[in-house]
Amino acid sequence: MDQEDDRYRAPALDKGLDILELLAEIDGGLTQAEIAKRLGRSPNEFYRMLDRLVRRGYVTRIDGDRYSLTLKLFGLAQLHVPVRRLVSYATPFMRELSEATRQANQLTVFDRGSVVVVAQQEAPGYWGISIRVGSHISLYDTGSGHVLLAFRSPEERQMMINEYSSSSEKPSLAKEFFERLDQIRARGYEMMPSAQTAGVFNLSAPVLGPDGRAIAALTVPYISLVNVAQAPDIDETLAMLTRTAQQLSELAGAEPQSAA
Name the pLDDT band for 260 (thresholds 50, 70, 90): very low
Give percent of the chain above pLDDT 70.
87
pLDDT mean across residues, the chain: 85
Whether pLDDT at 5 is above 70: no
**CATH topology assigned to domain 2-69:** Arc Repressor Mutant, subunit A (1.10.10)
Domains 2-69 and 75-251 share a fold: no
Question: What digits encode the pLDDT tens for the residues 88-127?
Answer: 889 999 999 999 999 999 999 998 778 999 999 998 877 7
Mean pLDDT of 178-194: 95
Q: Is the pLDDT of residue 179 over 90?
A: yes
pLDDT per residue as tens digits for the range 212-234: 899 999 999 998 876 666 788 99
Helices (H), the chain: 2-7, 11-24, 32-39, 47-55, 72-79, 81-101, 143-150, 154-165, 175-187, 234-251
- Interatomic CA distance for residues 80 and 243, integer angstroms: 26
pLDDT digits (tens, 9 = 90+) for 133-177: 888 898 999 999 999 999 999 888 988 888 887 655 556 678 899
Domain positions in the chain: 2-69, 75-251
- The Cβ of residue 99 has, within 10 Å, a number of other Cβ atoms equal to 12
CATH superfamily placement of domain 75-251: GAF domain (3.30.450.40)
